[in-house]
């Protein structure tokens, strides 16, 4: 008996990186998973890996910032698997600038993907969650559900040059703590994981490969200056950046039954690094 057998999970931004690792981890523990990405090919690769391992998976392709995405995402879960137990808000990217050079477009892009998109997904899920909790209470059952919002140490401590990104990530911390209070009566644990340096496309050294992500019609530069990564690594007590699989392990903690009495918390997964 795997710990998530019978559970249904949706994971935004799960075509690559941390989101992909989380989707694969949840599936390995028995959850049926809805995978999302802007890139149909990336989402398809995650889905194929889950299927090859014997898991059940569906896909919901699209931009999480689209006004109808939250409704589509939740509907995919209910139509494909007739339930929804775990929500992981992972989709995001960084479009960096110092305040005097930051455009309105950059600011709203960061708030849209890191705050508004998770809000719409959670709002779309609320009707199902409230109805399911009432039905289970009437039947004398208690079923715990999980929300895990992916955050960053930038949202906790700030980071020079990342005003919009840090503000968006700080917003989801406030959302996490508020929703934990609102949804506790429905037996939902709502928590966040704040990551430090995790080795993904977003944190690759500039000059090491593909440094441009296509976000809709935008081309956003990915990567971090190598000297900055070196300095950060020296400040991590474990002496290295984390892997997506290690990041997924931190998120999984809040999806597992062991977290049934933990809610409204932010777990720092940074190898010991504090800004």
Integer angstrom CA distances of residue 171 from 139, 146, 174, 202, 242:
37, 19, 5, 20, 24
Q: Cα–chain-centroid distance for residue 110?
A: 14
Tokens of residue 222, six digits: 């990915």
The structure tokens listed for 256 are: 């597992």
* pLDDT interval class at 213 (50, 70, 90): confident
How confident is the model over 64-77, as pLDDT tens digits?
A: 999 999 999 999 99
Taking the model in full, what pTM does it have? Answer: 0.93
Residues 6+ apart with CB under 8 A from 47: 35, 57, 58, 59
3-state secondary structure labels for all residues of 154-174: HHHHCCCCEHHHHHHHHHHHH
Q: Where are the domains of the chain?
A: 8-196+243-269
Say what the pLDDT of residue 275 is: 66
Task: List, in order, residues 6 or more apart from 112 with CB less than 8 Å away.
Answer: 65
The predicted-structure confidence for 176-195, as pLDDT tens digits, reads as follows: 999 999 999 999 999 999 99
Question: Shortest CA distance to 92 belongs to which of 119, 72, 110?
Answer: 110
**CATH code at 8-196+243-269:** 3.40.50.720
CA atoms within 13 A on the CB side of 100: 0
Mark 11-26 as b/e (b = at least 16 C-beta within 10 Å).
bbbbbbbbbbbbbbbb
What's phi and psi for 203, nearest 5 deg? -115, 15
- For residue 209, pLDDT over 70 is answered with no
Counting residues of the chain whose pLDDT is more than 90, the rounded percentage is 82
Q: What's the chain's length in residues?
A: 275
Asked if 110 and 168 touch (Cβ cutoff 8 Å), the reply is yes
Please say if 197 is a catalytic residue: no
**In 10 A of CB 145, how many CB atoms?**
23
Name, in order, each residue with C-beta under 8 angstroms of 38's C-beta and a sequence gap of 6 or more.
Answer: 15, 61, 62, 63, 214, 215, 216
Of 93, 108, 157, 165, which residue is the catalytic one? 165
Residues 225-247: pLDDT tens digits? 777 788 888 889 999 999 999 99
> For residue 214, with 0-12 CB atoms within 10 Å meaning exposed, 13-18 middle and 19 or more buried, which class applies?
exposed
| Higher local confidence (pLDDT), 206 or 264 | 264
Instruction: Write out pLDDT tens, residues 33-81.
Output: 999 999 999 999 999 999 999 999 999 999 999 999 999 999 999 999 9
């Amino acid at each position: 008996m795997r710990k998530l057998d019978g559970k249904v999970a949706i994971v935004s931004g799960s075509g690559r990186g941390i989101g992909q690792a989380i989707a694969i981890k949840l599936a390995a523990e028995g959850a049926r998973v809805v995978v999302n990405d802007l890139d149909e090919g990336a989402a398809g690769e995650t889905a194929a890996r889950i299927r090859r391992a014997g898991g059940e998976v569906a896909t919901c392709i699209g931009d999480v910032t689209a006004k109808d995405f939250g409704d589509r995402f939740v509907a995919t879960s209910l139509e494909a698997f007739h339930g929804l137990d775990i929500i992981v808000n992972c989709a995001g990217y960084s479009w960096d600038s110092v305040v005097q050079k930051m455009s309105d477009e950059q600011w709203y892009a960061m708030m849209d993907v890191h705050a508004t998109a998770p809000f719409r997904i959670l709002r779309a899920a609320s009707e199902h969650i409230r109805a399911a909790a009432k039905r289970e209470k009437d039947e004398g059952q208690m079923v715990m559900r999980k929300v895990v919002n992916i955050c960053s140490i930038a949202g906790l401590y700030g980071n020079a040059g990342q005003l919009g990104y840090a503000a968006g990530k700080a917003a989801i911390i406030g959302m996490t703590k508020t929703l934990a209070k609102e949804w506790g009566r429905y037996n939902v644990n709502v928590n966040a994981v704040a990551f430090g340096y995790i080795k993904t496309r977003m944190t690759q050294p500039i000059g090491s490969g593909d440094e441009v992500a296509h976000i809709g019609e935008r081309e956003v530069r990915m990567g971090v200056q190598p000297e900055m990564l070196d300095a950060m690594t020296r400040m991590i007590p474990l002496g290295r950046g984390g892997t997506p699989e290690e990041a997924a392990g931190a998120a999984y903690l809040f999806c597992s039954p062991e977290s049934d009495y933990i809610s409204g918390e932010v777990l720092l997964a940074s190898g010991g690094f504090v800004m």
